[in-house]
Amino acid sequence: MEIKLTKDTEQKLITSLRRYMREEFGEDAGELKATLFLRFCLEEIGPSIYNQAIQDARAFMQEKVADLENVCYVHEGNHWKQSSGRRGR
């Protein structure tokens, strides 16, 4: 699965990468170098991050679905339990 970014997000990331390279390595990376590095990261590292996020979301949802009975359960036959003190009137 290809990870696609909006143009705005891609531009923000490229700007951030250029700043990081300048501040951490003292290297003024051009737009092309930062773009190629970003694409490499998206292709090589992105799928691992994406897959982990999907696993985390799946575990979260399974936990919530497993708890549905506790969250959404309504006891039946409550009328007679609540009005048992009115018997004999």
- Per-residue pLDDT reduced to its tens digit, 21-56: 999 999 999 999 999 999 999 999 999 999 999 999
In this structure, are residues 18 and 29 in contact, taking their beta carbons and an 8 Å threshold? yes
Question: What gap in Å lies between CA 22 and CA 20, rounded to an integer?
Answer: 5
Residue 88, pLDDT > 60, answer no
Which residues does 88 contact at the CB level (< 8 Å), separation at least 6?
A: none
Q: Which amino acid is at 38?
A: L
Residue 74, pLDDT > 80, answer no
How many percent of the chain have pLDDT more than 90? Answer: 67
Query: What's the predicted TM-score (pTM) here?
Result: 0.67
pLDDT of residue 85: 59
Which residues does 4 contact at the CB level (< 8 Å), separation at least 6?
A: none
